Structures are given as structure tokens and as C-alpha cells.
Chain A
């Protein structure tokens, strides 16, 4: 049990000393992507190799979360803790493990697999949320503690009032990372103000955007960070119970979170009277069931209560009546993951990154026709061009860039001429897309924008919960019309109808799913109208 800030610091110090006794580490990425490329076998191979060679006194093999460059998995890094140097190896297979150890044993480096870490992919990122990803063992709470973990929570419980936590979060300017960008401090304050015996903190780990995996990586690589962020929210708002709603398609994330919760309870970091203070807080994981609409706040709440995930009208807002009708804070995984560093370093520090209206960093999942697929964290305000061409390494096979899709089914496609737009909530919105939760899908000259619009509309159609007609019927009709365009059988009337219907669905749907479902269509109509015109049959034109 850890009962005070001092005891926490002692444990951190002890863990660091223990770690230093062993000078070097071989870190194997065991994020989902690397796991499916055989990371577990590589870790075992390295571990038994190190022991067989009698190297275990100077070298430890450890599994770590995703470092981001998933395109080049399996990633292994060789770290010298005394000198702070790190050598990264990419595309490691089971058969490379022996060669890697052969070189390591003689003090050499397996140059053929060495990754060039002077590339923009590594140098242009700024890691706040992902600061521990790729460094710590997500299954070991002590490793988190040794990296300043839970220091913000314990320091707060010892030295600060709930209002001071609110002030720092407000000062930081942090905005919700789940898509909407609502100021987190204000959300918390509205719950803190309500008088109520019972309040809840809920973390949205549903990650429904099909093509995004930021939250998954955070939950898998650094689960304790989310728990700490939620506990701080609990303290600030006066809540004692938290829930993390995770989609069932992420079994690894569920496993890591459950293990983290268990370890935290064992050390008294979750539970009654944390740090001998009057504050108690506990967290439980709840599984989703693969329904996109359950990422919507009111649907998620009713799903936790054990119902079909139907959204409801707002108000009442969750801050007045959320889970089991109690005042509830609901934030995205990445939002909570930003909290510990904000409290540790102060809101003013956080404001030093990003832009005036969108402070901090944002994690993006880069996928599609791009060289460096994977996860990146960059300061807000960086241009799309820098992210895609420099960090992402551009388009493979000498093809030309056509568009980048942001915001998933609720977002839009942004064309070449807007590549210099800074990435922040407001700029992306003004282009007819949204920041969304961080999916960024790059498309080259061969991609059809009509197809992309049809893909997302079919997605929304099948995910519509059916509660309100504009969305249920509208998305079905829109899919049909888009199908005509994609088969090049459309008429000029179809184009008019498409426009009108988009407007109706947007304006009259009950929840965000329906309201934003037309976005992929309207944005492609805006920038790639010619592709729609080309799909109109000549005799009908």
C-alpha cells in the first residue's frame, strides 16, 4: 500500500535504482500491430537468448507499447540507460533475433535492420500523451510510477483543492479529443458545481471511427495514465466512481486496463481514502458491443446501463443527468491521458504547445496510401502538408496525393489546395471537415471520391440506430443515390436530390451520427464535383 506522496516517491526511486542496476534494455513493441507480426515470439526468443548467453545482469528484455511506426514493425529498441542512447531496429522477425543478439553481445549493432531515427517521422513529433508509449511496460504499475506516474494525483490529494485542479485544466485550454473539441475544464466545472451525492466519471474508449486506433494504442501502451486522469477528474468534480467503456473488438486494451485497475487497487491508488486523504475513487471497465452510435455520449451512457444504445435528446445534459441520472463527466481516452502531464507541469506549460484556440498536441492515426503508416503525435497547428509529406513520408509508388480524409464517417475529404492549412479544430471545420478523433486516411490519385462518400454513407446507414426517421430513411436513400453515382448511372436530378437530402438529414437528425453523416458527401461535392458530374450518364445530362 502506498499511503503518501513520499511513499510514492520512494517507490519510484527504488524502481529507478533497480532498473539502473541493469544498464541496458531490449524493448520489444507488443502493441496490437506488432503482436500480429509475431512480437511475442521475438520477445521470448530475445529473453531466452539473453539468458542463454549469460547477459541478464547487463540487459533486460521488456515488452512495451506502440512507439508509432507500425509500418515498420516489429520494432525492437536497444537502450543504454546510463548514456540515454537508443538504437531502434525495424522489421525484426523471429529469425533476426539471433543476429541482433550476436551483434549486441560483441558490442556491435545490427546495421542492416537499424532504423534511421533522424527522419522527420521521429524529429517532428512532440509526445505528451504518448510520452511513455514505447518506453514503459504497460503491465507493470511500478514502471509507470518510476516515470512520474501517479505523482500528479498524489501531489494533488496532498496539496491542492479540487478547485485548483479545475483551474489548471481550464488554464490549459484542453479541448475534448473525441471529436467535438468542447473545453474540458468547462465540462468539469459544470459537473463540479452541481450538488449531488453521487456523480460519475466516464471514459469513452469506444473508438468507433473505422480506420482510427489512437485510443487503442493509449489504452494498450499506458493504461495507468487514463486511470490517473480519471481519478483527477473525480477529485475535481466530486465523483467516486468511474467507468471505461471499451469496444469489445479491443480485447488487448480491455486486458491491459483490467490489469492496471487491479494493480492500482492493490497499491491503494484506487479504492478508499487514496493517499490517506478523504478522497475515494474506483474504476470499472464496461464492454461495448460493436455499435458505432454507442460512441455518442447519451447512447454510451444508456449502453452502460444495459440497454440498446439509443441516443436521446439533449438537454438534459450529462452534467445534470447522465449515468443513472447522476451528474456525469464523459471524456475521450486521449482527453484523460492529457490530464496527468497538465496537472504535473501546469496549465500554462500546456498552453505553450499548439495554437491559441487549440492548445496542446493531437495524436493521429496515419493510414491509407502513405509511406509511414502508424501513430503520430504533433503540436496542434502543424500543417497537413508537414504531417503527410514530412512525417508521413508522402505517397508510396510515386503516386500523386489526392485528398486526406479526417474525422471518419462524420468528417470530410480535404484536397491538395488546402494542404497548408494548420490542423486545429476550427481550421478543419472551416474546410468542411472536422478534426474528429484523429483518423487521417490519405488517398492517392487512383482513389475515387464518390466511392469514399458511398463507403461512409453505407457505414452510417448500417450504424444508424433507427430511432429517428431523417437518419434512418435519409442515409438509406443517400446510399442508394450514391450507389448510382458509383455505377455511373446517375442523372442530373440525382445530383440535386443528393444535395437536398444531405441538407435535410443534417438539419433534422436527432443525434450527431445523423447530423454529420452527410459530411463526407458535402465535402467531396465541394472539392471534387467533377467526379460526380462524370458519373452522370451522358444521355441523362
Chain B
């Protein structure tokens, strides 16, 4: 990955430019970087630090403070289980237990074959459909244990 040849850096630069390379552009730049690269690798963080004239420690500190930013790559598929209050009240933790047992990983981890990342969210804003999980950007609501697993198998196959 090279800053000069990899066009993805240009995307990040565009965001910084739009915001006048001001230090307040940091969080927006991290968002763009995560969108384009999938996660925030050290190379990208360093690039942003250099361009915004910020110490690397500052960039790293901000990136690790916000839950939304990922410093590790995700698996090929992602499954996000909502653990907000409405979903919790309707048994989201049991669904998560089932998934953890089925795939042998804890929430926040990725399977060894890099096929699946199991994540949790704090309310995805569709509480009427609780409990809800998001399978590769596709929200599925009113889940029970059976459907939760079936949808996961379906996504991976």
C-alpha cells in the first residue's frame, strides 16, 4: 500500500481538503478512511496525522476513544447484534450467546478463517423490530434463536 499510488488515500485527502486541513477534520477524516479502507490501519492513521499536522498519539487516541472506529480488519461477513435496551428486554443476550457458541468466538472477534466478525451495537434505532441483528448491512428484526442462526448460516453459505 503506497500513499502515492493507492487512490484510496485521495478519498481521505478530499475530506481533509474540504475541511481546510483543520485539526477539527480529524474525526471526519477517520470516518472517510474507515469507509474506504474498511478499517484503520496504522499506515492510514500515520497519513492522517501527517496531513493534519497532528501527533500520531493524538490520532491514535481519538481513533481508540470512539467505538465506531475499528483498528483491526473485519471478516468477510459481519453480523451485528443490537444490544440496546429494547432488544435486551426482548432477549438479545440469548441470541448473542447462541451465536457465540455456534461460531466459537466472542462478540468483537472474528473467526480464524476470517469469514465472520461478530459485533454488537447500542441500538440501531429500529427498536420496534426488537430483537434485531444486522447481517452484512441487512437488518433482520423480530428474531428468535432459530432464525438468528439460520440467517447467519444463510449469509455465510
Q: Which residues of A come within 8 Å of B, CB atoms?
A: 32-33, 36-37, 70-71, 73, 207-213, 216, 248-250, 286-292, 303-309, 365, 367-369, 373-374, 405, 408, 439, 441, 443, 447, 452, 455-456, 459, 465
Pick out which of these stretches binds chain A: B3-11, B86-94, B98-106: B86-94
In the assembled complex, the Cα of A286 lies from the Cα of B87 at a distance in Å of 27
In the assembled complex, the Cα of A373 lies from the Cα of B66 at a distance in Å of 30
Chain B positions within 8 Å of A441 at CB level? 85-86, 89
Assuming the contacts A291-B66, A306-B24, asked whether A374 and B128 have C-beta atoms less than 8 A apart, the reply is yes
Decide if B125 touches A286 in the complex (CB within 8 Å).
no
Decide if B28 touches A36 in the complex (CB within 8 Å).
no
Decide if B68 touches A211 in the complex (CB within 8 Å).
no
Q: Return the contact of B65 from the options A308, A365, A374 (Cβ within 8 A).
A: A308
Besides A306-B24, A373-B130, 16 other CB < 8 A contacts? A36-B140, A211-B127, A213-B125, A249-B68, A286-B28, A288-B68, A289-B27, A289-B65, A290-B68, A290-B122, A306-B25, A367-B128, A367-B130, A368-B130, A373-B86, A443-B89
In the assembled complex, the Cα of A248 lies from the Cα of B66 at a distance in Å of 10
Assuming the contacts A289-B67, A365-B127, asked whether A307 and B86 have C-beta atoms less than 8 A apart, the reply is no
Assuming the contacts A211-B127, A304-B24, A308-B61, asked whether A290 and B88 have C-beta atoms less than 8 A apart, the reply is no
Assuming the contacts A36-B139, A304-B24, asked whether A212 and B123 have C-beta atoms less than 8 A apart, the reply is yes
B residues 108-157 in Cβ contact with A at 8 Å: 121-130, 132, 138-141
Assuming the contacts A33-B128, A289-B68, A367-B127, asked whether A305 and B24 have C-beta atoms less than 8 A apart, the reply is yes
Assuming the contacts A32-B125, A250-B125, asked whether A306 and B62 have C-beta atoms less than 8 A apart, the reply is yes
Q: Return the contact of B125 from the options A216, A308, A309, A373 (Cβ within 8 A).
A: A216
Decide if A70 touches B126 in the complex (CB within 8 Å).
yes
Name the CB-closest residue of B to A254. Answer: B31
Decide if A287 touches B27 in the complex (CB within 8 Å).
yes
Chain B positions within 8 Å of A249 at CB level? 68, 121-125
Q: Which residues of B come within 8 Å of A, CB atoms?
A: 22-28, 30-31, 61-62, 65-69, 83-90, 121-130, 132, 138-141
Name the CB-closest residue of A to B124. Answer: A249
Decide if B89 touches A368 in the complex (CB within 8 Å).
yes
Of listed A73, A368, A459, residue having the most chain B CB within 10 A:
A368
Decide if A455 touches B126 in the complex (CB within 8 Å).
no
Decide if B69 touches A306 in the complex (CB within 8 Å).
no
21 inter-chain pairs at a CB distance below 8 angstroms, sorted by A residue, are A36-B139, A71-B128, A207-B125, A209-B85, A209-B123, A211-B85, A248-B68, A289-B69, A290-B67, A290-B68, A306-B24, A306-B27, A308-B61, A365-B127, A367-B89, A368-B89, A373-B127, A374-B128, A443-B89, A455-B88, A459-B122
In the assembled complex, the Cα of A288 lies from the Cα of B122 at a distance in Å of 14
In the assembled complex, the Cα of A307 lies from the Cα of B61 at a distance in Å of 9
Shortest 10 CB-CB distances between A and B: which pairs? A289-B66, A211-B85, A70-B128, A210-B84, A36-B139, A210-B123, A367-B86, A290-B68, A306-B26, A290-B67
Chain B positions within 8 Å of A33 at CB level? 126, 128-129, 141
Of listed B31, B84, B124, residue having the most chain A CB within 10 A:
B84
Name the CB-closest residue of A to B89. Answer: A368
Q: Return the contact of A291 from the options B22, B65, B123 (Cβ within 8 A).
A: B65
Q: Return the contact of B66 from the options A36, A73, A290, A439 (Cβ within 8 A).
A: A290
In the assembled complex, the Cα of A441 lies from the Cα of B84 at a distance in Å of 11
Chain A positions within 8 Å of B87 at CB level? 211
Chain A positions within 8 Å of B140 at CB level? 36
Decide if B89 touches A369 in the complex (CB within 8 Å).
yes
Q: Return the contact of B85 from the options A250, A303, A455 (Cβ within 8 A).
A: A455
In the assembled complex, the Cα of A367 lies from the Cα of B87 at a distance in Å of 9
Q: A326 to chain B: closest CB distance in Å?
A: 13
